[in-house]
Amino acid sequence: MSEDSTAAAPIVGIDLGTTNSLIAVCDARGPRVLGGVASALMPSAVRYGSDGEVCVGARAKLEAAVFPERTIFSSKRFLGRRAEEMRAFSSAQSVPICEGPRGLAGFAIDGKCVLPQDVSGAILRELRLRAEAELGVPITRAVITVPAYFDDAQRQATRDAARNAGLSVARLVNEPTAASLAYGIGRGTQAGERVVIYDLGGGTFDCTLLEIVPKDTEVESDCFQVLATSGDTALGGDDIDRAIVEHWLAGSTVGSISERMQLLEFAQRAKCALATEVRVDEVVVCNAIAKALSLTRAELDSIVAPFIERTLVCCRRVLADASIAPKDIARVVLVGGSTRLVRVRSEVAKFFGREPYLALDPDRVVALGAAIQGAILAGDRRDLLLLDVLPLSLGIETVGGATAKLLMRNTPIPSRASEKFSTSKDGQTSVKVHVVQGEREFIEHCRSLGTFHLTGIPPMPAGIPQLEVEFLVDQNGVLSVRALERRSGVAASIQIMPSFGLTEEEAAKMDADSITHARSDMRRHRLTDLRVHSTLDIKWIAEALARVRDALDGAYVADLEQQMVRLTALCVEAEHTPDTVDPEEFSKLKQALDVSSVRVHEVAIAHSIRGGSIL
Ligand code: ADP
Ligand code: MG
């Protein structure tokens, strides 16, 4: 391979997980996981077929029940470990454990001893091939992540696995360090800060306490030092799935392996769905009888409670080992698919007394961080870690597709801003908060960052609810958006990393566009505001008029109605053919109606006080 093509090939980042593995890259388009939305998480399952075929990933997992004696899960657990140490785990494996060279653990298939670095190597190779197909360049170098507690033998076995996959290891990075890098933690200004990484995956739990040390100190990945680590190698999402099945069976036994697998599969699906739903139902066939199964959020919460308590025991131990109190922790980062559990999030927040970082997908954050480390090693993206001002304004969508900016471009971070809004429809019980980034006035020209719903608002007339939206960007550029309805106290929030997926060129273009289009955007925004406010005005006047028409002078009413008709027509025109509407004329007409309608509102108020309907 020529010098040039090596230079063009990126150093990818790989999260070689016990349950799932994934590959990511960080190039001019920013850090991203490869392999498409559906296939990005590849199950760490490998089948060695009798014909010599090696099948990796989703298919191997799916067909495991058919080929139990040929399918290997969790090879990571065995890397660099001795066979005698691993006997305890042999019951969890359908493939018998054997002893390879130097007493190392291996898997007995077709009378041969397959080593875990061959199995993990097959996973790495599959990831490499997928990434090459997507990027269209050969990939030879990777940053691979390993648990912080991996010893030399386990790290060496990981390197061997990479070599078997045709990859050279640019660096092995600790998983908690990679997760921190993904959040931009560890910039020079944060030296001395302590970060806890809470990682609850499929089969293991790890809690790691890192300290950020000044760049010039010789420690791994430049500036992260592991102060303490603890965990449980037999605690994860799989245990939760089994506990859910136990809850359903309530002591009774299941007939066949395939029925049990079906139950486990539904348990996992129900568990995941409960991240957003409050109840899940399904009918499954169990012991040849159709059974209606359901799981509620409350049931799941009580099933997971003892598991969470065990993780917190580890967290307590980590803090005690380092003689550090929860209040001395600057940041808590959530990693691993199981931290999507609502209860995990709330308990961890309670334990550490702060909101954990969860803006990035917890099952992708390690791979993203590894990719960032790869880009830094390749000398491509130093800028990623340097974010001292907001590169683009941050705001939300308002009625009519316009934007309201809460934090302006070039605002130094950390920073905070809030603004008040209300509803636009009567009896509206939920509002959508759509967070956008960019300088333009309308959302179609901005970048959409995320959406959430504030629900449970008591029905009130339009304009009465007091909605407050707060933006908080912290030192790492993590944006927390919170919406609150003051009268009822209902609140909802979201966390986002606005810098993700945004390249410098894009930011520059978005900024330049805003200048080019400033005039037309302003005009359109003004028209939208006029239209929205006029529509509400007209609605209120019509309502007042309906109540007190008889108490008013006929000529006044006729004039008022004529103005309302003209303004309504302008609203319609502004919506459909905005170019033909003169904002000045529109504004004048609206102001005229404001003045004329004072009387009808006065009479209506006097009327309702007399009628006793106010309050
Ligand atoms: P590992 O690091 O062990 O490879 P992952 O971080 O990929 O594992 O986590 C996999 C686990 O996350 C599985 O047990 C899966 O059931 C669980 N998981 C994924 N999504 C959710 C969710 N929405 N709610 C609860 N658990 C989830
Ligand atoms: Mg993991």
Q: Each residue of 401-451: pLDDT tens digit?
A: 889 999 998 888 889 999 999 888 899 999 999 999 988 888 888 888 889
CATH classification code of 1-174+363-381: 3.30.420.40
Quick one: which H or E segment has residue 484? strand 479-485
The question of whether 15 is a catalytic residue gets the answer yes
**Residue that is written with structure tokens 């077929």 in the block:** 49
Say if CB 9 and CB 141 are below 8 A apart. Answer: yes
Question: Which has more confidence, 257 or 72?
Answer: 72
Confidence of residue 3 (pLDDT cuts 50, 70, 90): very low
What average pLDDT does this structure show over 60-83? 93
Q: How much is the pLDDT for 575?
A: 87
Mean pLDDT score, 278-293: 80
For the entire predicted model, the pTM comes to: 0.82
Confidence at residue 37, expressed as pLDDT on a 0 to 100 scale: 58
Q: ∠ at Cα 349 (344, 354), nearest 5°?
A: 160
pLDDT for 257: 73
Kindly state the percentage of the chain with pLDDT values over 70.
92
Q: Report pLDDT for 471.
A: 96
486-523: string of b/e by CB count within 10 Å (b at 16+)?
Answer: eeeebebebbbbbbbebeeebbeebbeebeebeeebeb
Mean pLDDT over 18-47 rounds to 87
Q: What are phi and psi of 446, to 5 degrees?
A: -110, 170
pLDDT score at 220: 44
Atom of ligand 1 nearest to the CA of 20: 4
DSSP conformation letters of 221-253: TTTEEEEEEEEETT-SHHHHHHHHHHHHHTTPP
- Which residues have beta carbons under 5 A from ligand 2 (an ion)? 17, 201
Residue 67 has pLDDT above 50, yes or no: yes
Same fold: 1-174+363-381 with 237-304: no
Ligand 1, atom 22: nearest CA belongs to which residue?
Answer: 272
Nearest CA to ligand 1 atom 24: 272
Q: What is the pLDDT of residues 213-268, one digit of tens each?
A: 876 544 445 688 899 999 998 899 999 999 999 998 887 776 677 778 888 889 99
Q: Residue 279's pLDDT is what? A: 93
Give the residues surrounding ligand 1 with Cβ less than 6 Å away: 17-20, 201-204, 236-238, 268, 271-272, 275, 336-338, 340-341, 363
How buried is residue 615: exposed, middle or buried, by Cβ count under 10 Å (0-12/13-18/19+)? exposed
Which is catalytic among the residues 118, 126, 160, 199?
199
Ligand nearest to the CA of 146: 2
CATH class, domain 519-609, is mainly alpha
Report, as an integer, the average pLDDT of 156-175: 96
The superfamily (CATH) of domain 394-516 is: Substrate Binding Domain Of DNAk; Chain A, domain 1 (2.60.34.10)
Q: Is 175 a catalytic residue?
A: yes
For 564, phi then psi, to 5°, come to: -65, -40
Domain boundaries, the chain: 1-174+363-381, 237-304, 394-516, 519-609
d(CA 315, CA 70): 37
Q: How confident is residue 504, by pLDDT bands cut at 50, 70 and 90?
A: low
pLDDT band for position 502 (cuts 50, 70, 90): low
pLDDT bucket at 20, cuts 50 / 70 / 90: very high
Least confident stretch, 42-46, 81-85, 190-194, 360-364 = 190-194
Mean per-residue pLDDT, 374-381: 82
pLDDT at res. 424: 84
**Which option is the CATH number for 237-304: 3.40.50.2300, 3.90.640.10, 3.40.50.300, 3.60.20.10?**
3.90.640.10
Whole-number pLDDT of residue 501: 65
pLDDT digits (tens, 9 = 90+) for 443-492: 888 888 889 999 999 999 988 899 999 999 988 888 999 999 998 999 99
**Alpha-carbon torsion, ordered 377, 119, 47, 44, to 10 deg:** -50
- C-alpha to C-alpha distances, 227 to 193, 319, 328, 336, 490, nearest whole angstrom: 12, 9, 13, 21, 40
What pLDDT, on the 0 to 100 scale, is given for residue 473?
A: 92
